[in-house]
Each structure stands twice: as structure tokens, then as C-alpha cells.
């Protein structure tokens, strides 16, 4: 079964307030099996336009990624992100090497 991913492209507008989002979203996403592959760090955009921060969270399945994102507790915390940053969030199914 292919893994699932939440990919975020984010430009933080209020870094101090955004810290609360990161603090609160971490345990919620981990409860759905998230593995944090990318969470900020150096990046460059050799083509196209991009936000300034990027995240990639891996989940055991696409269904788990969707369940985490649409979970009411996560959505309540996501309001902090929506107030403090501009973001594009993508849910994607990984490639199944066996398929």
C-alpha cells in the first residue's frame, strides 16, 4: 500500500504566533502516524514561484494523511496557521513501487 503525504508550502507572516501552531500540530499529526521528513530548513526555487517554508509529512497511507488533515482537532489548530501564514497544503498518495 502506498504511503500518503501532506505537503505544505508556507510563508509565515507572524513567526511568534506561528510557533503555537507548530507546537500544537505536532502531537496531532504524530497520532495519525506522521513522520516529519521536511519541516523548514534551507531551500531554493530554481524554477517557478514558491513560498519560503516547506514541509513534507509522511503517513502510513493516503487515507491516514487525509484523516489527519480533516480531523476536527487538527482543523481547529490549523486556524492558527491560517491567521499567521499564507499556505498551500497538498494531500498526495505516494508511488507504490510494487504497482
- The answer to whether the pTM exceeds 0.85 is yes
Counted domains in the chain: 1
Cα distances (angstroms) measured from residue 18 to each of 55, 79, 80:
14, 10, 7
Q: How far apart are CA 1 and CA 32, in angstroms?
A: 16
Over the stretch 4-17, which tens digit does the pLDDT of each residue have?
999 999 999 999 99
Is residue 33, in this structure, part of any structural domain at all? yes
DSSP-assigned letter for residue 32: T
Is residue 12, in this structure, part of any structural domain at all? yes
From 5-19, 48-62, 85-99, the region with the lowest mean pLDDT: 85-99
Per-residue pLDDT, 98:
64
Mean pLDDT calculated for residue range 37-60:
92
Domain that holds residue 51: 4-93
Is residue 40, in this structure, part of any structural domain at all? yes
Q: How far apart are CA 11 and CA 68, in angstroms?
A: 22
Is residue 24, in this structure, part of any structural domain at all? yes
Q: How far apart are CA 95 and CA 1, in angstroms?
A: 9
Amino acid at each position: 500500500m502506498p504511503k500518503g503525504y501532506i505537503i505544505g508550502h508556507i510563508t509565515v507572516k507572524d513567526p511568534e504566533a506561528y510557533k503555537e501552531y507548530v507546537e500544537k500540530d505536532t502531537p496531532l499529526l504524530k497520532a495519525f502516524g506522521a513522520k516529519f521528513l521536511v519541516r523548514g530548513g534551507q531551500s531554493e526555487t530554481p524554477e517557478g514561484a514558491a513560498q519560503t517554508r516547506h514541509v513534507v509529512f509522511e503517513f502510513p497511507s493516503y487515507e491516514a494523511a487525509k484523516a489527519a488533515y480533516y480531523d476536527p482537532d487538527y482543523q481547529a489548530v490549523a486556524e492558527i496557521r491560517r491567521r499567521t501564514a499564507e499556505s498551500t497544503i497538498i494531500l498526495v498518495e505516494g508511488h507504490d513501487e510494487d504497482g
